[in-house]
Amino acid sequence: MAEKELTQRTAWDKVLANLRKRSLWMLHYCTGCGAVELPPTMTSRFDMERFGIMPMVTPRQADILLITGYLSVKTLKRVILIYEQMVAPKYVVGFGSCTINGGMYWNSYTTIKALDRYLPVEMYLAGCMPRPEAIISGFNSLIDKIGKGEANSWKDYYENYEFYKKNQDHVFGDIETHHDVPADGRYFGILEAKR
Amino acid sequence: MNAQTQAPTTSRPPAATGAPRMTEALVSAITAETGIATFRTKSPRRIEGTVQADALHSFAAALRSRVGFEHLSAISCVDWIAEGEFELVYHFWSYRDSHLVSARVRIPREPGSMATITDLWLPASFFERDIHEFYGVVFQGNTDLERYILSDWKGPPPMRKDFSSRDFAHEHFTFKDYEPTWDELIDGGYHGQKRQGEGSDE
Amino acid sequence: MYTQALLALPLVGFVVTIVLQGTARRSPAILKTWALLAFVAMAAVATLAFPEIGDTYTGPMVFGSSLSIGLTDLSWWFVMMIAGITVLTSFFTLGALRDTGTYPMYYGWLFLKVFGMLGLVMSRDLLTFFIMWEIMSWATYFVMQQGKEEGREAALGYLVYAIVAGMVLLGGVLFIHQSAGSFEFAVITAYMAKAEFGILLASVLLVLVPFLIEAAVYPAHGWLPSAYASSETSMTAYLSSISTRMGLFGLILFVFSVFGLKAIDRIGISAHLNLRTILLVLAALTAVLPTYTALFQHDAKRLLTWHSIGQGGYMLLGLATASTLGTAGGLMHIFNYMTYVALIIFSIAAVEYRTGTTNLNKLGGLIVKQPVAFLGMLFGIIGLAGIPPMNGFVSKWFIYRSLILGGYPFIALAAFIATVGTIMSVYKLIHNTFLGQLPERYNDVKEVGLLMQLPIWILMGVVFTTGVFPGLILQWIAKIQVGMGIVPIAWTLGGVAREAGDLNMMVVTAVFMATFAVGAIIFFIGGKRRIVSQYDNYAAGHFLNKDVPYNFNYNFYSAFDHIFEKLYHDAPVQTAIRNLGRFVRMVADYVRRFFTGQINTYAAYYVAAVIIALAILKEIP
Amino acid sequence: MNSGIGLIVWIIAYPFVSFSLGVLLGGYGRKLTARIQRRVGPSWIQPFFDVVKLMSKKTNVSHGYMHDVAMMMLVGGTLLTMYFVPVPGFHYFSQFGDYIVIMYILLVPPLGMALGVGQTANPNGSIGIARALQMLAGYEVTFVLTFIGFAMKNGTTSMYELMMIQQSGGVATWGLVTNPLLGVAALFCLQGMMNEKPFEVVIAPHEIATGPMTEMGGKYLGMMFIQHLINLVVELTIYMNLFLGGATNWFEYVAKLFALFTLVMSVNAVYGRFRTDSALRFFWKLPLPMAALGVILIMINGI
């Protein structure tokens, strides 16, 4: 799918993607301990802003949803609400081992193990916890992906919503996010592009 | 609410005897006032004893109104699975004497039922709700035993000893087939060997 | 010919309404239709009376002088304003007034009030002026009675002020008659031009004080808020928009025509320190203090009635400068304020009609349910705050410019401080009514019917049109200024000519529309957008639904509250106020024995006072 | 260049010029802040990337028609102000509206924003607006007083004429030199007008989630950014025209713009945030009496 779309890119899309990749605003969801690595990443020592990456406050303004650490079932609900409130194109970045396979909470009964079953994860930053160098390197590869037009995981949420919804329903009951994701996908022309 | 906050002040011992009592004096006072004689000193400021499940409510009431233990610190629970019992530990604190009384109550695991003390201390509801959620103990008379922390929990009470968190996690959540290849660079890698030995579905 | 008809029509209406009041309960439509038709006819007659400007008609002889009425440019302008707003109000009440049965004499007293106001603005001698003033005051009292239970008490408060004003005015009339020897305006003008200073001062004060009370100028503004706010809502619109301005009319008439500006300016010690300076300071206080009181109101009507006082301050500011620009601004502000305050209160009435409340802490989010009322209020508050392109801006521009260039920097600052207060309180008004979260209980609120929408649409048109083409109003004001003895304003359709200043509202509006279109283009260049539920909202991950109130409208301006709470809650001040209150209550307790609450008693007092006064008058040779 | 073809070219080109200047200023400001904090900082035209990114978002979220119209009012009102503020070579519209007009049309964008934010039904936004309106009573009142004094002294309210009067004698006739009290008081107000620290309580990201911008995403936030960038230029130009003698050519104009902005951003970089009531008290204790004193001096001189 991704390759087909890549070949369809017009010159305008390429220009736009190369401009967009210079500005990425990040909403960090800091329930885990990994958040402690973010301040050095943002401030004088590593200065994330030189890549145009800035922390933002509300989901509406953000492009990147950075999940810094483990998610319990209860916090996952909030994360899903926040993700659905974000404005596409949006990228979920799993930060630390906890988001990948539960990390040190691998046998906990309320901590979800693989984030990509509930949300379309664009990229994982492995490590417990990843150091600022790793974060910067990870974001740089995300920037490259966006520039090449390969960062399209957010479309997957619209296309395979049944999959995500099934997994979400498996860990908690129905939640009211006031979003009809497939309808949104049709309204904004994200689903038609495929069919 | 009002009555509860006022009750200790009205039943507080007179000011003349306001000086803190010695631990031994306290133990004998508790024994005398409540009629329960199994209390002993555990450490200089800590008194501990066992109370029968049906006597706890009257014990707590007497402790509060007569001996001045106005504060319920906590209720905790231990699952003695081999003995088929839950042990509830009630911690009472006296501000005047700076002493802690821990009253141990044993109840059978099945049906795991206990009388509430929310009529004496409204905040006890918080602990009872917690214990109900994590151990499945039912507190008779407590009207608010809703889910508290595990709002979407479907499994058995998770702090019981017969609940296996690992089994539950493996049953309930899906793990990623995480097979890193970087360790092969070092010495063939643990995962690589495992892969060769077991074979893969894909 | 039409002039007399103009005055006769409301009187006929009053009599007919008394006859018809029995039908009010069974078929309210009869009275409503009759009132509307009569008022429309009145407006038509007023228009037809245009050629008769300048003529004077004499009526019956009283005390050796004949009562006379006639139209001038000023009074025709006021007549047109009264007629227009009356028609709109009566049209609005067709839909809005649901329980005519409760107020059978609603239209009756309205007719009488209109009669009094028309007579007042058309009077050509002092005695007619006084008689009409009294009719108007009493009719206002009765009109205010047509409201909620607490409205009756508030109306009583008005009555006390009105009686004081009436007494002082009576004294003034008698004093002037005694000094000048005539009730006629022309004779008085000639006399005052060379009267002794003491006589001049006494007669000016005796006449101006009642006007300032009626115009609710600080510190005589206390009667207005509760009296207006507890009236029936369409009546609040009527009273706020035009009734209070009668005091200002009297002020214009006497200061500029009857006494003459030259005579007025003799009262004072220098060009910058005279009676007008006092008026300016009073006006500045009137503009600032009530506006900031409005900020802390929780009731939409009450909030606006405080603005009625505050905006009156602006008008007085403009008039008291006695400059071309200032008087133009003051006169224009009377018209502008009338249009947009009626618009705002009609919108509030539309909300009240559906929700049954005007409490700002209970409303919210109604924009999706009542878009027309919202639009009406939006136009109105833009006018009230004085932001282009609505008409409120133009008059404020005149007033500012006259104050700055006239050398009153701190008065101009006070005017701007009042503007900031206005902006704050009108935003609170529109935010708490129409914006924010829609409470679940208003889910089935609907827009009001066409009958009530039409006045709102008309006023929106007027507010916008006169804002873009202020020349439509300014041409009249230029004529009036000639009559006031002031250099007329060099108006153009879009504002004022280059010599007088830099204002062309047509260009401003055109540029704004163009730039707005640019904004729209940028908006549509961006991607598609979807309107989402109000519960799809950022709450830091909290799930919102109808059970989660997620709104901010209580204690809206908390920082101001925080700063000024000392002013209100500081102990010595508080004690002083409390002691004052106790004293007032004690005095009032004695006074209460006079004020029995029976209207007959008051009438008896009043008749007695008038008889005594007339007896004194008879004694004077 | 105030008639004919030149005028039309100006009218069409000016928004783009202004926006480009705004982008450069915004980028410069961020770079400056970064350098003060010993960081590398973003690109010089970072605001441009941000705007493009925001405008190209695909699933924009609106809360209703007022929310949409508010954005048009926001950009429209700012462009309107921009046209009425004279710059070197372009003062055509000054003849149709003086500073009193500008003072009021400066209120159109905040009003639009306030209405739009109101419809987003987010209390953070409403709190932000309430704070913004309260702050008006601090800086706007003071700024208007400085203007009143200055206009009264020179006998005109037209911004273009005030600018010309200042240009008549070089630096010696600049408003800041002839009326230093007014000029300095207005400088405090400029900080407030531009919502920069320490008067940043309207946005307060850590407290009320960026206040008015809470529910703004995608193109809504993009339009707010466009408005913000143009507004930077407009507000700096207003101060420049009133107290720094405007500019006679574009080199001087840009130089003054950047110099003034350096001052504002330097203060912004090193200060914390005042609470609303503290900020109001500050304005009423220092700049307002200062401006009042300046006005009184002008009155005394006049007499």
pLDDT, mean of each 10-residue run, chain D (303 residues): 75 89 92 90 90 89 89 90 86 80 87 88 88 88 89 83 83 83 89 87 81 86 91 91 85 90 91 87 90 87 66
User: What residues of chain D lie within 8 A of the CB of A43, using their CB?
Assistant: 37, 39
Average pLDDT over residues C494-516: 80
Amino acid at C380: G
Average pLDDT over residues C551-561: 81
Percentage of chain C beyond pLDDT 70 is 89
| D60, closest residue in chain A (CA to CA) | A87
CA C252, CA A2: separation in Å to the nearest integer?
Answer: 79
pLDDT of res. D229: 92
Cβ contact (<8 Å) for D53 and A63?
yes
Q: Looking at the structure, do residues B108 and B199 belong to the same domain, yes or no?
A: no
Q: Mutating which of A74, A109, A124 best tests the B interface, going by the most B Cβ atoms within 10 A?
A: A109
The CA–CA distances, whole Å, from D215 to A8, A57, C556, D183 equal 33, 10, 20, 37
Our CA-based measurement puts residue A181 at a distance from the nearest CA of chain C, in whole angstroms, of 12
> For residue D41, is it left (φ>0), alpha (ψ between -120 and 50) or beta?
left
Starting from the edge strand earliest in sequence, which strands make up the sheet with C491-492, in order?
A: C491-492, C495-496, C503-504
Q: Could you report the per-residue pLDDT of C560-585, keeping only the tens digit for each? A: 877 777 665 545 554 565 566 566 66
Q: Looking at the structure, do residues B35 and B134 belong to the same domain, yes or no?
A: yes
Q: What is the mean pLDDT of chain C?
A: 82
- Cα angle value D193/D197/D200 (rounded, 5°): 65
Amino acid at D15: P
pLDDT of res. B8: 42
Percentage of chain B beyond pLDDT 90 is 5
Confidence of residue A152 (pLDDT cuts 50, 70, 90): confident
Q: Mutating which of D31, D46, D48, D59 best tests the A interface, going by the most A Cβ atoms within 10 A?
A: D59
CA D153, CA D171: separation in Å to the nearest integer?
Answer: 18
CA C86, CA C237: separation in Å to the nearest integer?
Answer: 10
CB-count exposure of residue C615 (10 Å: 0-12, 13-18, 19+): exposed
Q: Looking at the structure, do residues B88 and B176 belong to the same domain, yes or no?
A: no
Nearest by CB to A58, which of D40, D53, D210? D210
Percentage of chain C beyond pLDDT 90 is 2
CA D70, CA D47: separation in Å to the nearest integer?
Answer: 22
Please list the residues that pair with B40 across neighbouring strands: B48
Q: Mutating which of D38, D43, D58, D225 best tests the A interface, going by the most A Cβ atoms within 10 A?
A: D58
User: Any idea where the domains of chain A sit in the sequence?
Assistant: 2-187
Cβ contact (<8 Å) for A78 and C541?
yes
| B182 in contact with A, Cβ within 8 Å | no
CA D61, CA D70: separation in Å to the nearest integer?
Answer: 14
Our CA-based measurement puts residue C566 at a distance from the nearest CA of chain D, in whole angstroms, of 13
In a domain, B47, yes or no: yes
> For residue C408, is it left (φ>0), alpha (ψ between -120 and 50) or beta?
beta
Our CA-based measurement puts residue A151 at a distance from the nearest CA of chain B, in whole angstroms, of 21
| A190 in contact with D, Cβ within 8 Å | yes
The CA–CA distances, whole Å, from D103 to C330, D81, D234 equal 20, 9, 12
Query: Does the pLDDT value for residue C613 go beyond 70?
Result: yes
Q: Looking at the structure, do residues B7 and B59 belong to the same domain, yes or no?
A: yes
Cβ contact (<8 Å) for A19 and D61?
no
pLDDT of res. C576: 60
Q: Looking at the structure, do residues B20 and B88 belong to the same domain, yes or no?
A: yes
- Helix (H) or strand (E) holding B189, with range, is none
Percentage of chain B beyond pLDDT 70 is 77
Contact B107, B53 (CB under 8 A): yes
Average pLDDT over residues A125-139: 88
Query: Does the pLDDT value for residue B2 go beyond 60?
Result: no
Our CA-based measurement puts residue C535 at a distance from the nearest CA of chain A, in whole angstroms, of 7
Our CA-based measurement puts residue C547 at a distance from the nearest CA of chain A, in whole angstroms, of 13
CA B17, CA C351: separation in Å to the nearest integer?
Answer: 68
CA B176, CA C345: separation in Å to the nearest integer?
Answer: 64
pLDDT of res. B19: 55
Please list the residues that pair with A67 across neighbouring strands: A29, A94
Structure tokens at C495: 């504002």
User: What residues of chain A lie within 8 A of the CB of D61, using their CB?
Assistant: 60, 85, 87
Q: Could you report the per-residue pLDDT of C40-60, keeping only the tens digit for each? A: 888 888 888 888 887 888 877
Q: Each residue of B49-76: b (16+ CB within 10 Å) or e?
A: bebeeeebbebbebbbbbbbbbebeebe
Least confident of C60-64, C280-284, D31-35: C60-64
Average pLDDT over residues C358-382: 88
Q: Mutating which of D57, D122, D206, D225 best tests the A interface, going by the most A Cβ atoms within 10 A?
A: D57
pLDDT of res. D157: 81
Cβ contact (<8 Å) for A74 and B155?
no
For chain D, what is the largest distance between any 2 Cα atoms, rounded to a whole number of angstroms?
A: 64
Whole-number CA gyration radius for chain D:
19
Cβ contact (<8 Å) for A81 and C543?
yes
Q: Looking at the structure, do residues B88 and B177 belong to the same domain, yes or no?
A: no
What are phi and psi for residue D95, nearest 5 degrees? -75, -15
End-to-end CA distance of chain D: 40
Q: Looking at the structure, do residues B106 and B78 belong to the same domain, yes or no?
A: yes
For chains A and C, what is the number of CB pairs under 8 angstroms?
Answer: 32
Query: DSSP character for A56?
Result: -
| C529 in contact with A, Cβ within 8 Å | no
User: Any idea where the domains of chain C sit in the sequence?
Assistant: 271-569, 573-621
Contact C402, C325 (CB under 8 A): yes
Nearest by CB to C535, which of A82, A178, A184? A178
What are phi and psi for residue A111, nearest 5 degrees? -105, 125
Q: Looking at the structure, do residues B174 and B109 belong to the same domain, yes or no?
A: no
Q: How many domains does chain D have?
A: 1
The residues, ordered by sequence, that sit 6+ positions from C388 with a Cβ below 8 Å of its Cβ are C467, C505, C508, C509, C512, D101, D104, D105, D108
User: What residues of chain A lie within 8 A of the CB of C542, using their CB?
Assistant: 78
Q: Looking at the structure, do residues B139 and B180 belong to the same domain, yes or no?
A: no
For chains A and D, what is the number of CB pairs under 8 angstroms?
Answer: 90
CATH fold for domain A2-187: Rossmann fold (3.40.50)
Average pLDDT over residues C368-387: 89
Q: Looking at the structure, do residues B104 and B6 belong to the same domain, yes or no?
A: yes
* Subunits with 3+ C-beta pairs closer than 8 A to A: B, C, D
Domain range for residue B193? Answer: 164-202
Our CA-based measurement puts residue A41 at a distance from the nearest CA of chain C, in whole angstroms, of 23
Query: DSSP character for C439?
Result: P
Query: DSSP character for C448?
Result: P
Nearest by CB to D123, which of C368, C386, C551? C551
Q: Looking at the structure, do residues B84 and B128 belong to the same domain, yes or no?
A: yes
* Subunits with 3+ C-beta pairs closer than 8 A to B: A
The CA–CA distances, whole Å, from A5 to A142, A195, B65, D23 equal 18, 13, 77, 33
Structure tokens at D1: 């260049």
Least confident of C74-88, C158-172, C458-472, D254-268: C158-172
User: What residues of chain D lie within 8 A of the CB of C378, using their CB?
Assistant: 115
Q: In the Cβ-directed half-sphere of A73, how many Cα atoms lie within 13 Å?
A: 21
Evaluate whether chains C and B are touching (3 or more beta carbon pairs less than 8 Å apart).
Answer: no
User: What residues of chain C lie within 8 A of the CB of D215, using their CB?
Assistant: 537-538
Amino acid at A43: T
Cβ contact (<8 Å) for D58 and A190?
yes
Evaluate whether chains D and B are touching (3 or more beta carbon pairs less than 8 Å apart).
Answer: no
Q: How many domains does chain B have?
A: 2
User: What residues of chain A lie within 8 A of the CB of D58, using their CB?
Assistant: 87-89, 188, 190
CA D212, CA D124: separation in Å to the nearest integer?
Answer: 7
CA D55, CA D52: separation in Å to the nearest integer?
Answer: 5
Chain mean position to CA A10? 25
Contact A120, A157 (CB under 8 A): yes
Nearest by CB to B165, which of A73, A108, A116? A108
Please list the residues that pair with C491 across neighbouring strands: C496
Q: Each residue of A181-193: b (16+ CB within 10 Å) or e?
A: beebbeebebbee
**Among A62, A59, A65, which residue's Cα sits nearest to residue A93?**
A65
Q: Mutating which of A61, A64, A190 best tests the D interface, going by the most D Cβ atoms within 10 A?
A: A61
CA C64, CA C177: separation in Å to the nearest integer?
Answer: 12
Cβ contact (<8 Å) for A74 and B151?
yes
Q: Mutating which of C437, C533, C538 best tests the A interface, going by the most A Cβ atoms within 10 A?
A: C538
| D222 in contact with C, Cβ within 8 Å | yes
Our CA-based measurement puts residue D35 at a distance from the nearest CA of chain A, in whole angstroms, of 9
Q: Given the DSSP bridges, would you call strands B71-80 and C65-70 parallel, antiparallel or unpaired? A: unpaired
Contact C113, C136 (CB under 8 A): yes
Please list the residues that pair with B79 across neighbouring strands: B86
| C524, closest residue in chain D (CA to CA) | D219
User: What residues of chain A lie within 8 A of the CB of C543, using their CB?
Assistant: 77, 81, 175-177
Contact D230, D82 (CB under 8 A): yes
The CA–CA distances, whole Å, from C106 to B90, C90, C154, D39 equal 73, 10, 17, 74
Given CA atoms A74, A75, A78, A84 in this order, what sign does their dihedral have?
Answer: negative
pLDDT of res. B16: 36
Provide the chain D residues 248-277 that lie in CB contact (below 8 A) with chain C.
275-277
User: What residues of chain D lie within 8 A of the CB of C531, using their CB?
Assistant: 62-65
Q: How many CB atoms lie within 10 A of CB B109?
A: 18
Average pLDDT over residues C91-120: 80
CA C268, CA C262: separation in Å to the nearest integer?
Answer: 11
Cβ contact (<8 Å) for A58 and D209?
yes
Task: Check which CATH number belongs to the domain holding B58 and give it.
Answer: 3.30.460.80
What are phi and psi for residue D250, nearest 5 degrees? -75, -25
Q: What is the mean pLDDT of chain A?
A: 84
Instruction: Between C259 and D142, name the one with better pLDDT.
Output: D142
In a domain, B159, yes or no: no
pLDDT of res. C11: 85
Contact B56, B62 (CB under 8 A): no
Confidence of residue C597 (pLDDT cuts 50, 70, 90): low
Domain range for residue D261? Answer: 4-302
Q: Most confidently modeled of A176-190, B15-29, C270-284, D183-197?
A: D183-197
Our CA-based measurement puts residue D221 at a distance from the nearest CA of chain C, in whole angstroms, of 11
CA B79, CA B87: separation in Å to the nearest integer?
Answer: 6
Confidence of residue A150 (pLDDT cuts 50, 70, 90): confident
Q: Could you report the per-residue pLDDT of A64-113, keeping only the tens digit for each? A: 999 988 888 888 888 998 998 888 888 999 888 888 888 888 888 888 88
Structure tokens at C477: 């004001």
Average pLDDT over residues C611-615: 73
**Among C136, C123, C11, C116, which residue's Cα sits nearest to residue C57?**
C123
| D149 in contact with C, Cβ within 8 Å | yes
Query: Does the pLDDT value for residue C506 go beyond 80?
Result: yes
Amino acid at D61: V
